[in-house]
Amino acid sequence: MQDRTATEPSLGEQQLSERCRQYEQQLQEQANRLAEFTALLAAQREEIQRLKDTIAILKGEKGRPPIQPSRLEPGKASAASADRETGSEQKRAGSEKRAKTPQLKIDKAEFRRAEQVPAGAVFKGYQDYVIQELEVEVSTTRYRCERWQTPDGGYVVGRLPAAVQGSHFGPTLRSYILYQYPESTGNG
């Protein structure tokens, strides 16, 4: 029996090889069935949702809106959803309160003269007041109100137009926001 070649498998190796082929075949069949069941499950979910929408419409309610699936790469969740799942509460970048006025592009500057400046008052420069307004294009106005120091130490400052007093946003922008508020709450 020693004249058998090394390439010839023994009876035990043949049985193992046959079992491996059978297991691979069973595994492939199970993978195919799993794919069929996954497709069937997705189809059933769609059908159930369609039926729920039909029931809602018959009750006089709105059905579920058609929302496209996320375009994120499969298997990758967004950072926000990952934070929510882990429960960590962190502030968004740039959410701290900071002065934004120096970064604004000033489109227009108006100089406002102080009214009733007493004789002997000393001009001390300007007091800037920035107003943002919404137009078809962005328009940021810097009102340069004259500021005079009176002989008794007080100040006289140029007045802002009545429409912008008390706010850093122009009347058109404020009225637009007020107009949109009922729309956003569903009361419009």
* 50 within some domain: yes
Q: Is residue 73 part of a domain?
A: no
Verify that 106 and 59 share a domain, yes or no. no
Same domain, 50 and 108: no
* 124 & 51 share domain: no
Select from 65, 84, 109 the last residue of a domain: 65
Domain that holds residue 41: 10-65
In a domain, 82, yes or no: no
How many domains are contained in the chain?
2
Domain-located, residue 42: yes
Please give the pLDDT value at position 147: 95
Tell me, yes or no, whether 121 and 171 share the same domain: yes
Under a CB-based contact definition with an 8 Å cutoff, are residues 150 and 119 in contact?
Answer: no
Q: Is residue 45, in this structure, part of any structural domain at all?
A: yes
Q: Within this chain, do residues 51 and 126 fall inside the same structural domain, yes or no?
A: no
Same domain, yes or no, for 126 and 58? no
Out of 44, 65, 86, pick the residue that ends a domain. 65
Residue 184 pLDDT:
63
106 and 167 in a single domain? The answer is: yes
Asked whether 158 and 145 are in contact (CB, 8 A), the reply is yes
- Specify the pTM: 0.30
Report yes or no on 105 lying in a domain. Answer: yes
Of 156, 145, 141, the residue nearest 111 (C-alpha):
145
Give domain status of residue 148, yes or no. yes
Ordered per-residue pLDDT tens for the chain, 188 residues: 455 555 666 777 888 888 888 889 999 999 999 999 999 999 999 999 889 888 888 888 876 777 777 777 665 555 555 555 555 566 666 667 778 888 888 988 999 999 999 999 999 999 998 988 876 677 889 999 999 999 999 999 999 999 888 888 888 888 888 888 776 666 65
Task: Tell me the β-bridge partners of 155.
Answer: 149
CA angle 23, 26, 31 (to 5 degrees): 125
Same domain, 179 and 123: yes
How far apart CA 182 and CA 188 sit, in angstroms, is: 5
Residue 139 in any domain: the answer is: yes
What span, in angstroms and rounded, lies between the C-alpha atoms of 104 and 101? 5
